[in-house]
Amino acid sequence: MLKKVIGILCVSCIVFAGAYLVMEREVEPEPAIVDSPKVIAHRGANDRFNESTITAYKIAAEDGVDALEIDLRMTADGALIAMHDETIDRTTNGTGNATDYSLQEIKELETSEVFGEQRTMEEIPTLREILETFRDTEHYYIETRLVHGELVMEEPLIELLLEYDLLSQDLVTIQSFSEESLEKIQTLAPEIPLTLLFGKEKFNLKKSKDV
């Protein structure tokens, strides 16, 4: 069972008003969940450059965001890359599943997007390249997932984060739709804050409270 899960609590205030009677009482304010809202750059500054690229993350970092959000996929030879979709069709000049490509083959492709009337191209980055670029200057909000239904990206991910000494500095949060992946992460590195994600129309309040 997950012990450390970051959640968002929505509180509704209902005011009962009577036609002839108004009851007032002092209520102790609830403590704030956070001091201020956090800005997380989902796939980088994807409003201005190709999503999940070094340039998109640099733009977001220059804007002073609180965290860089990185969706992970794993190549056929075990490299962790920044890629949201299961396939590379939407964001690159290639086709097919990311897991069917070796890292060398992935590097022969480029992300491709049009902003205004200009097409921009940039290679698909590995997680290592992103960490090498920013090191301890940013907080990383990383999404894990199962690979062909297996827990295979968690160990190399933790090894990489330890190599860059990010865990001891509290610079990483891990999110996932997979409870199994988060449980594996918790076993490997209990200190990492975790976020359990729910798909659209799949939210389960009981499960949220249980974790």
3-state DSSP helix/strand/coil % of the chain, to nearest 5: 25, 20, 55
Sign of torsion over alpha carbons 103, 71, 65, 162: negative
What does the alpha-carbon distance between residue 96 and residue 81 come to, in Å, rounded to a whole number? 15
Q: Is 107 helix (H, G, I), strand (E, B) or coil?
A: helix
Known catalytic residues are: 42, 84
Q: What angle do CA 45, 67, 120 make, to 5 degrees?
A: 20
Place of tokens 């239904």: 149
Distances in whole angstroms, Cα of residue 60 to Cα of each of 35, 47, 168: 21, 10, 24
DSSP 137: G
